[in-house]
Amino acid sequence: MTLPGRMLRGAVLITVLAALALPILAGLGLTLAASLGYLPAIGARTVSVQAFLMLFGLPGLGTSLWLTLVTGIGSTLLALIIAIVLLVRWPGAARLLPVLLATPHAALALGLAFLLSPSGWISRGLAPLLGWAQPPDVATVNDPMGLALIFGLLVKEVPFLLLMLLAAERQIPWRRHMALGQAMGHGPASVWIKIVVPQLYPLIRLPLFIVLAFALSVVDMAMILGPSHPPTLAVALTRWFNDPDPAMILPASAGAMLLVALTGGSIGLWMAAERAVARLGCLWLRRGGRGRGLGSTLAVPAAMGRFALLLGLCALLVLAVWSLAWRWPYPALLPDSWSLRGWMRADWAGPLVTTLQIALTTTALSLMLAIAWLEGEDRGHLPRARWATGLIVLPLLLPQIGFLYGLHALFLKLGICGCLWAVIWAQVLFVFPYVMLALSEPWRSLDPRHVRSAAALGAGPLRRLVAVKLPLLIAPVLASAALGIAVSVTQYLPTLFMGAGRVTTLTTEAVTLASGADRRVTAIYGLLLAVLPLCAYGLALRLPGLIFRNRRDMSPRHDT
């Protein structure tokens, strides 16, 4: 291990600990203290369980807990099953992934609300067949069972898990297994379930837990699609933290700790279910059988997956239509008149500029930190550390509401809450893990002979990084940057808490407008939310080809 490499790695580690890990732990600690009744800012200095007693006495808490578990665990389980089935039954689904992955949660939820509502596009399409002259009196959005929220989470989670499965399948010889299994008389579905899936699942376990933690604690999608009275626990906590009565902070903090425990317990329950399923699977395998009838069983989740992904694309289309619609009476399938007056009246320019400023700055900081981390590994000849992965994914496994209030209180003490840099700092906590995870594998897979050749020619460490590594890795670096922008644009709670109502972005405005009466303005914000990440991904795909248009072997389109 070289001294410069050790120093660079140490500097990056100190930065990550001081700027990312410690604020999260401090926020978690302050929220825990408030949950135990210690919050000097409102005169509460006695440590007790009174806050938890207040929490359990609030009306609707039991229903909120039940809705959280049903929507969180149910959507994750369904998304896993559908993604596994789509991988083998619909290979063409991979073409739809970039658009759906790039679309922020709030934008997708708004589009789905316009599709699924009683006066939405689906209802308008069915109206001539069923003879409807006015929208049906059915709660298809914000329904008390949370079905619309489960469907919305499916549309967002299935593409992510499918992408993880596509990356995992490259690590196993699954085609050989399929050929051997079918040669022995087993049906394709039987080989897939019995042999291939048990090898794929461990490779996507961590992303699956991230999906589960997100589904249990999501706020923006739950506010748009989920039940309202009572809502899921994360939405209820957001309302309590923003209640005019400061005394509500104590039961809200207790609820935040309850959500953290609920998330940890759900992950533990999932791990216990894994062992049970593994034992049942072994018993099933010992019984023999070639499973030729399993193919028809997979048809239902495959159809659900196709419907969900295609409806996700329709959600983006309906946002564009509503943003340009002027007069659109029910049950007309398309507007009677079109106009740009909605765009001219809506005050979207300010939030758009703020969103871009935050996204670009957050992504740039996260990218520099990730490159410094990986370069420190290379210079120090260090192996990948498991604790480092745990440190990176910590904010993705914890519910945001569990530590953001405490972080908000810490920022208030430091006198930086309510400013743009406070929001940027809070968003880096969530952008950096995604940028780091996206860039680490391509970086570590780079052929070291390129760097050795540059060193043999006399290039120093900095020149090797700038002149060799970064040009060779320009495509994954830009893809990581596009992912960072997409993650930053989606951040609702960090902007809400750290901005203290003084920093408005497209996401905060879109969620606020979701319950309003003017669908045109809401659609404009939702469409802008969707367009920003799509533009970032489009540039990430096009720029490498433009930069290296005169260097065939450097072009990402060149097939060696």
CA-only gyration radius of the chain, Å? 25
| pLDDT in the model for residue 89 | 83
- Residue pair 104/533 in contact (Cβ under 8 Å)? The answer is yes
Report the distance separating Cα 308 and Cα 125, nearest Å. 17
Within a 10 A sphere around the Cβ of 424, how many other Cβ atoms? 23
- Residue pair 472/443 in contact (Cβ under 8 Å)? The answer is no
| pLDDT in the model for residue 558 | 47
List of residues 6+ apart from 42 with CB closer than 8 A? 246, 247, 249, 250
Alpha carbon distances (Å) from 66 to 59, 231, 262, 462, 496: 13, 10, 11, 54, 26
| pLDDT in the model for residue 559 | 43
Task: State the DSSP H helix or E strand holding residue 305, giving kind and residue range, or none if neither.
Answer: helix 299-324
Alpha carbon 83 to its chain centroid, in Å, reads: 16
DSSP letter for 336, please: S
For the question of whether the overall pTM of this predicted structure is more than 0.85, the answer is yes
- DSSP annotation string for 146-211: -HHHHHHHHHHHHHHHHHHHHHHHTTTTHHHHHHHHHHTT--HHHHIIIIIHHHHGGGGHHHHHHH
What is the mean pLDDT for each group of 10 consecutive residues in the chain (560 residues)? 67 84 92 92 88 93 95 96 89 84 92 92 91 88 93 94 89 82 76 86 93 95 92 95 92 96 96 93 77 73 91 93 90 90 88 95 95 83 72 88 91 88 94 92 86 85 87 91 94 92 91 82 93 92 81 54
List of residues 6+ apart from 374 with CB closer than 8 A? 439, 440, 443, 444
Torsion of CA 411, 414, 418, 424, to 10 degrees: -60
Report the distance separating Cα 291 and Cα 105, nearest Å. 38
- Residue pair 370/480 in contact (Cβ under 8 Å)? The answer is yes
Q: If we measure between CA atoms, which residue out of 153, 149, 160, 151 comes closest to residue 101?
A: 160
Q: If we measure between CA atoms, which residue out of 87, 9, 515 comes closest to residue 79?
A: 87
What single letter denotes the amino acid at residue 73?
I
> Omega before 331 cis (within 30°)?
yes
Report the distance separating Cα 534 and Cα 117, nearest Å. 26
Q: If we measure between CA atoms, which residue out of 348, 356, 355 comes closest to residue 513?
A: 348
| pLDDT in the model for residue 388 | 74
Backbone angles phi, psi at 10, to 5 degrees: -65, -40
Report the distance separating Cα 108 and Cα 313, nearest Å. 9
| pLDDT in the model for residue 556 | 53
DSSP letter for 440, please: H
List of residues 6+ apart from 390 with CB closer than 8 A? none
The token duo for 96 is: 């739809």
Alpha carbon distances (Å) from 193 to 190, 272, 297, 390: 5, 20, 11, 30
